Amino acid sequence: MLEAQTVAIFIVAGLVCAAILSSLLSFRIGSPLLLVFLVVGLAAGEDGFGLVVFNDAGTAYLIGSIALSVILFDSGYATRFRSYRAAGVPAVVLATAGVLLTAGLTGTAAKFLFNVGWLEGMLLGTILASTDAAAVFFLLRVGGVTIRERIRSLLEIESGTNDPMAIFLTLTLVELIAAGAGIETLSAGLLGRFAWAMLGGALIGAAGGWLILVAVNRIQFDKPLYPLIVLSLAVTVFAMASIVEASGFLATYIAGLIAGNMRMRYSQALEDFQSGVTWFCQIAMFLTLGLLATPSEFPAVFAGALAIAAFLIFFARPLAVWICLSLFRFSPADMTFVSWVGLRGAVSILLGIIPLVGGIGDGQSYFNIAFIVVLLSLAIQGWSIGPVARWLGLLVPPIKGPVDRIQLELPTASRHELVTYKIAPDSPVALGARMPRWARPSLVIRDGASMSARRAGRLKEGDSIYIFVTPRQVQLLDKLFARPVPEDEFTSTFFGDFILKPDARMGDVAPLYDFSVSEEEAELSAEEFLLRRLPQPLDMGDRTTIGTVDLIVRALNEEGTRVLEVGISVQPMRPSLETMPLPLPASVRKVLLKAIGSMRSGMREE
């Protein structure tokens, strides 16, 4: 007995190590990390090497639920309130109405594809309705893809808030099917349950976030215990909300959002700990789901799963996105990109377990279909996010180069932090830029020797300096110590070939670049013209086409309320279907280009 337990521990620890090591391959080839973790789980399962025989759907759902609650807490913790100012309303609409539309369209297709009832079809639609944030942002980071802040905020908030809607709908439909009810039983009572799930989850989450702040800022623990109390309170919030039939996942997200946007002691240590725990939860959830799957059963549903995946990727998701975002003045390119990056991930597979746990007949088919659709979504969409962003002209050159910085929070109630910078070649400081009075170094290390700032004199390349600053001042210092961003063809194309002052009169600019404006627009400044034409708030890289040129928001003030520079591009970026660089098989590429071409044919020129 003891020997068997030791072998089990060895296998589990080995699988976790294998999953972590496989991330190196994922970084190298740019594949979705979720896909790699799932493959490791499949390889270790009964249809692979047979190292682990695991078929306990209830345990898998419990592990996945706890892991997802921690992941959503960290997602909320990392989301800034300014992201909500940039894209909060459209993101919430997409996470609610968008999920309903996607589920309804996909469920209708599933009813006819699999010849099932309406409730069964809608159940499959809701299982596949939510997106996976971890896969999207991992691929953007690995591919060096920097997108505009408004689009990034939209994807960040949507993926963090659409899971509760999909989970609520899935649980409700499973209850109805298990009870033998028909679609006519959907009534006002369902709306009341939904209202309580969302409102109750938000209230409990807000209370939980406040409780976390109190525990960290007002109660004296031993320092290593602070990350543990935060993690335990986050899971407690999830459990409390679930007990009273509110949305536990929404509660943990809200708790993380509140805690992450407030000043807390040991914030850097908390972030480091949560990052590690979140990675572990993702690995545990993905491996568990991979082990639960039985690939030998996939051929029986593969044709239908392939058809539903194509319908979801090329029709249901794009239509839902365009209906929701067309209300908020997003450009066709923005909506096309958001449609394409709606990757399905671990949540869809986790929801596919619920029919198994709920005792629905043929519940295994829901899980198998969800698993296949997720694999197809990650394989088709996952590898093409970077090329699609380039093709649509949504890439943004980095505002500043990399910074070699270490941040240390002081172990007291002080609002200052100790920041260490290493002077990079060609950075503004290395080239002689003056540092502000509030940023005088307390210590300089040069060639291994420690010295005061006065003795060191002018800072040199390779110096390491130590400065006491407030967290708010760190971003200002980053600009002084950042390595320069290389000026390449892409940067000039994105930000424009020429620069205009924001107060330049449009009536004076139009003749110079051979375009025409109305009498009313001729009296506007370039800044006023952009404010009138573009959605608010403005974002770096926002552009509008007029005649044969693009006017571009090239620089904004710190608050993002004023345009400081306007760029002009005389060769506006026009994505071409023929030059779209997708690393896909020819047959898939042909279908993809045809679908996107049909979608773009109705776009009007901005």
Domain of 317: which CATH number? 1.20.1530.20
Q: Compute CA distances 293 → 31, 41, 222, 379, whole Å.
A: 21, 9, 43, 18
In this prediction, residue 578 carries a pLDDT of 42
Q: Is the pLDDT of residue 585 over 90?
A: no
In this prediction, residue 140 carries a pLDDT of 64
237 part of a folded domain? no
Q: DSSP state, 485?
A: P
Residues 322 and 438 in one domain: no
> What is residue 170's three-state secondary structure?
helix
Range of the domain at 447: 405-481
Signed CA dihedral, 12, 13, 18, 21: sign only? positive
Q: DSSP state, 87?
A: H
Name the domain count of the chain.
3
Residues 428 and 365 in one domain: no
Residues 371 and 428 in one domain: no
Residues 358 and 282 in one domain: yes
Please tell me the distance from the alpha carbon of residue 45 to that of residue 51, in angstroms, as a whole number: 6
Q: Is the pLDDT of residue 602 over 50?
A: no
Residues 477 and 496 in one domain: no
Residues 356 and 433 in one domain: no
Query: Tens of pLDDT along 383-429?
Result: 788 788 878 877 766 555 556 566 666 555 556 777 888 887 777 87
pLDDT bucket at 579, cuts 50 / 70 / 90: very low
94 part of a folded domain? yes
Residues 320 and 417 in one domain: no
Query: Tens of pLDDT along 202-235?
Result: 999 999 999 999 999 888 888 888 899 999 999 9
Which of 333, 364, 391 is the last residue in one of the domains? 391
Residues 355 and 308 in one domain: yes
196 part of a folded domain? no
Of 438, 443, 445, 444, the residue nearest 416 (C-alpha): 438
pTM: 0.76
- CATH of residue 524: 3.30.465.10
Residues 468 and 508 in one domain: no
Residues 417 and 497 in one domain: no
Q: Compute CA distances 514 → 184, 309, 505, 507, whole Å.
A: 62, 47, 15, 11
Which of 454, 481, 508 is the last residue in one of the domains? 481
Which of 391, 422, 440 is the last residue in one of the domains? 391
198 part of a folded domain? no
Query: Tens of pLDDT along 161-205?
Result: 888 888 888 988 888 888 776 555 555 567 778 888 889 999 999
Query: Tens of pLDDT along 472-512?
Result: 777 777 777 776 655 554 555 567 667 788 888 888 888 87
Q: CA torsion, points 254, 169, 310, 595, in degrees to nearest 10?
A: -60
398 part of a folded domain? no
Of 219, 211, 216, 207, the residue nearest 274 (C-alpha): 216
On the CB side of 217, CA atoms within 13 Å amount to 12
Query: Tens of pLDDT along 552-561?
Result: 888 777 666 7
Residues 464 and 550 in one domain: no
Residues 471 and 557 in one domain: no
556 part of a folded domain? yes
Mean pLDDT of all residues belonging to the chain:
80
